[in-house]
Amino acid sequence: MKLKRICGLLTAFAICTAACVPTIADDRTPVFNASAADAWYFAGETCDPLHDTSRDVQKEGVGNPLNFGERNTPADASAAEIRAINHKMTVQEVKYALYKEIDEHWDLISTRLGQPDREKMYALFLGLGSRESTLGEGKIGSDHETAYEDGWGVNSAHAYGTLQTAVTAFKDCDPKFMPEDNVPEMYQYSFTEQNFYDCIISNHMGIRKILHFAEICINQEKMHGYQVIRNSLKGFNTGWCTMATDSGAYETYADEICSMAQFYYNEGHLYDNVFTWTSAQGQMDKYRTADRWDWWGDTEPSMAPIVEKQEPATTTSTTTTINTTTTTTTTVPTPSAQNKYVMKVVDKETGEPVDDASFMIAWNMTYNTGEKRANITTFNTESENPVTLTPSNLVNVTDYDLEIRSMSHHIYYTYNADDVVVEKDAANHTINYTIKLTKRAEPQISTGSCIVYVVDKATGKLINNGDFTAALTVVFDDGHESDTIYEIKTSKYNPFVFVPAIPKSSKSYSFGKFRSADGKYSFTEEDIDCAVDTETMISTYTIKVSPYQAVYGDANCDGTVDMSDIVLIMQSLANPNKYGEKGTSADHITTAGLKNADVDLSSQGLTSNDALRIQEYLLHKITSLDPK
């Protein structure tokens, strides 16, 4: 949301003093702070903090001075009544409502996002709230709703509140949306009007959504450092938290949030009614530096189990004399033999490894006090299968075991708890789990999915031995484009199904740029059929392929030989990281393209001589590109 600057006539005195102070109509009218020389970049009133300033905020938080409960509105109130309450909140109240949730889950949030400084975390979420709702501008409180035109909960982008928390964050929303069931440490509220519109619950679920993407960034994408929060913010906006090669994918959202966070943190506006907004100019530009994320620090984000803080259990004996007390403390030892758990995940029918499954597990701990506690964590099979797990933090633990709680949603497989085989190897202190997944008869297809079939052009049968790529291209409001590359391995899944999450800041998007990744098959644009169901918005693509046959000179594999092939050859030579065989661009040269382009036998492999020979062919200086 952008604010428009409204300036009246300035008197000569006002110009000389370089100050602009509008008249305040009432307590809720923002004070616009600007100088005659600088662009306007923040608004609102400075005021005293609401919390006891003698508190150690780093250790204790601000202490919930407004006495927010688990919800801010009556559970039986109507949506209109709830929104009316939210609408009256000041910017300062909006800020403290966020801090209440951050403080309540501080250990979890700090660990997952790698930020030990509580006030930096406050600032980060103020930046997110400023990007999404301008913290209410002092006019609408937390009463801000978007993408509701299609109806209640119909659009996955339907969102509400300070953080603009989307319906997809809630339990029991449309089952066609991908579930967010990987943050067991935070309660997941059901999708009802009373929950969706309550500002405290909205904040809770918005923070939980950020942690949902953080888990994916850490466990699946193997990210480190500030890239976890940076890409979690990207996921919050777009639905994908994969690392982008184009800086434009971050510039107007995640990076802008970081800049606004520094404004609140560095200029002392964490606890008052002052707010800034996206694209504010003037002195805000000093925070829009190439190294802005250095401010976040270098603490490593972690999926370490989060447990309630507890004083170590001890046995104590005390001997007292007139002036002296002697205390002896004995810590209960951990179990002498620590088991390791080896988790193997396979296809129940074929026995082949399933390398894209994710599970939630619990370490069930028994302490020397008799207390029992479950420490929740996750594992996935993307980087290794089987996965070896061992528990951590066994101080004062007398016994423990592992429990598989659930499998994260999978398009192709289902999980049955009865299909877990456990074998104990006592001699090696190893417990081997084999988790057998059942393949669905049909992929579980959600609204808005893209389905890709790869078939033999001659027979129409599904191909099961070729690798392909495709790209989802998003055009943003500011005109820049960003590609997300998908690998389609037909030996694994055919059809290939995915659900694109389209960012709110996008102007348009398209799915395509299909390529053969391994060079085994050939096809042209004319061999790709697409059908769209306008009710479900499910797009079905059928790619009809033939065994690879060389089309000499056709570097980009579009079925023709022209100047674009010469351009791609030169790009792949000049910038192999982007346009080479393993390049990051959706338009990089492929294995088949390399074979087609290698038309000059005087040099081995792809060189500029190949581009020169194709140019000679186009100029009719030679009649064939067949290198033989």
Q: How far is CA 147 from CA 157, 506, 542, in A?
A: 6, 13, 31
DSSP run (H or E) holding 104: helix 91-104
Structure-token match 């199904």, residue found: 497
Query: In this structure, is residue 171 part of a structural domain?
Result: yes
Least confident residue range of 115-129, 212-226, 333-347: 333-347
Percentage above 90 pLDDT, the chain: 46
Structure-token match 């579009």, residue found: 558
Task: Count structural domains, the chain.
Answer: 4
- Pair of tokens at residue 517: 């990744």
Q: Is a pLDDT exceeding 50 seen at residue 8?
A: no
Per-residue model confidence as pLDDT tens digits over 126-183? 999 999 999 998 899 999 999 888 788 888 889 999 999 999 999 888 877 888 889 9
Q: How far apart, in whole angstroms, are the C-alpha atoms of residue 380 and residue 435?
A: 12
Neighbours of 250 (CB within 10 A): 21
**Domain with 456 in it:** 445-549
Read off the CATH number of the domain in which 472 is found.
2.60.40
Least confident residue range of 102-116, 180-194, 477-491: 477-491
Determine the average pLDDT of the residues in 201-222: 95
Q: How far is CA 433 from CA 353, 427, 496, in A?
A: 13, 16, 29
Reported confidence tier of residue 393, pLDDT bands at 50, 70, 90 = confident
DSSP letter assigned to residue 333: P
Q: Is a pLDDT exceeding 70 seen at residue 211?
A: yes
143 and 233 inside one domain: yes
The beta strand positions in 114-228, using DSSP E, are: 145-146, 159-160, 165-166
Collapsing DSSP to helix, strand or coil, 594 comes out as helix
Collapsing DSSP to helix, strand or coil, 211 comes out as helix
Q: Is a pLDDT exceeding 80 seen at residue 624?
A: yes
Q: How far is CA 158 from CA 10, 28, 325, 538, in A?
A: 43, 28, 64, 19
**For residues 622 and 552, is the Cβ–Cβ distance under 8 A?**
no
Q: How far apart, in whole angstroms, are the C-alpha atoms of residue 274 and residue 440?
A: 53
Q: Is a pLDDT exceeding 90 seen at residue 108?
A: yes
Query: In this structure, is residue 423 part of a structural domain?
Result: yes
160 and 282 inside one domain: yes
Quote the radius of gyration of the chain (alpha carbons, Å).
29
DSSP letter assigned to residue 179: P
Q: How far apart, in whole angstroms, are the C-alpha atoms of residue 175 and residue 14?
A: 59
Provide the pLDDT for residue 39: 56
180 and 263 inside one domain: yes
Q: How far apart, in whole angstroms, are the C-alpha atoms of residue 276 and residue 127?
A: 9
- Pair of tokens at residue 386: 């089987």
383 and 516 inside one domain: no
Of 413, 439, 465, which marks where a domain is finished?
439
Provide the pLDDT for residue 323: 35
What does pLDDT average to over the chain?
83
425 and 466 inside one domain: no
Query: In this structure, is residue 322 part of a structural domain?
Result: no
387 and 457 inside one domain: no
Query: In this structure, is residue 310 part of a structural domain?
Result: no
Query: In this structure, is residue 1 part of a structural domain?
Result: no
98 and 23 inside one domain: yes
Most confident of 87-101, 549-563, 591-605: 87-101
Per-residue model confidence as pLDDT tens digits over 298-313? 999 999 887 543 333 3
540 and 577 inside one domain: no
108 and 249 inside one domain: yes
Per-residue model confidence as pLDDT tens digits over 522-550? 898 899 999 998 888 889 999 999 998 88
- Pair of tokens at residue 252: 């107007």
Provide the pLDDT for residue 223: 93
**For residues 50 and 96, is the Cβ–Cβ distance under 8 A?**
yes
DSSP letter assigned to residue 346: E
DSSP run (H or E) holding 618: helix 608-618
Query: In this structure, is residue 303 part of a structural domain?
Result: no
Of 549, 576, 604, which marks where a domain is finished?
549
495 and 506 inside one domain: yes
Q: How far is CA 467 from CA 122, 350, 493, 545, in A?
A: 45, 21, 10, 12
Least confident residue range of 22-31, 135-144, 206-215, 321-330: 321-330
**For residues 112 and 214, is the Cβ–Cβ distance under 8 A?**
yes
Per-residue model confidence as pLDDT tens digits over 458-486? 999 999 999 998 988 888 877 778 888 88
Provide the pLDDT for residue 29: 41
556 and 525 inside one domain: no
Q: What are the backbone angles phi and psi of residue 356, rounded to the nearest 5°?
A: -140, 35
Question: 512 vs 309, which has greater pLDDT?
Answer: 512
- Pair of tokens at residue 487: 């690998």
Return the axis-axis angle of helices 563-574 and 608-618, rounded to nearest 10°: 170
Question: 222 vs 178, which has greater pLDDT?
Answer: 222
Read off the CATH number of the domain in which 588 is found.
1.10.1330.10
CB within 8 Å of 513: residues ≥ 6 apart = 469, 470, 471, 473, 483, 586, 587
141 and 286 inside one domain: yes
